[in-house]
Amino acid sequence: MAISNSVLLKLLSGQMNQEIVFKQYGDKTVISKYPDMSKVVFTPKQLQVQEKMYEAHFRAKGIMGDEALASAAQVRLNVTRNKLYTALIKEYFKSQRENTDAAGNV
């Protein structure tokens, strides 16, 4: 792991070609190897949350792809255009939680 104060590297953040990761910590840039996640074993609960997130992402992108639905969702959620995706994800998880609570209380 290398630490740099280079002006050029201060502009970088994220990963390149899944080999190198650039992280910003305060005024320093840390360069590290891309993590190997191939041997990670997820618990059933983690897999369930990943599936819900996939569904939420798919639904949010579908709504944002249709201008009429996006405008209606923006008004309904009272958010700006740049925060619409996050608000749609939040709404999806909230509706899933309410459905789970309602099913559990019946």
Task: Report pLDDT digits (tens) over 72-86.
Answer: 999 999 999 999 999
One domain, residues 95 and 48 = yes
pTM, 2 dp = 0.65
User: Domain containing 10: what range?
Assistant: 2-33
Mean pLDDT of the chain: 89
How many domains, in total, are found in the chain?
2
pLDDT at 104 over 80: no
91 shares a domain with 51: yes
Query: In the chain, which residue ranges form alpha helices assigned H by DSSP?
Result: 7-10, 44-65, 67-77, 84-105
Q: Where residue 101 falls among pLDDT bands split at 50, 70, 90?
A: confident
**What one-letter code names the amino acid at 21?**
V
User: What percentage of the chain reaches a pLDDT higher than 70?
Assistant: 97
**What pLDDT, on a 0 to 100 scale, did the predictor assign at position 100?**
77
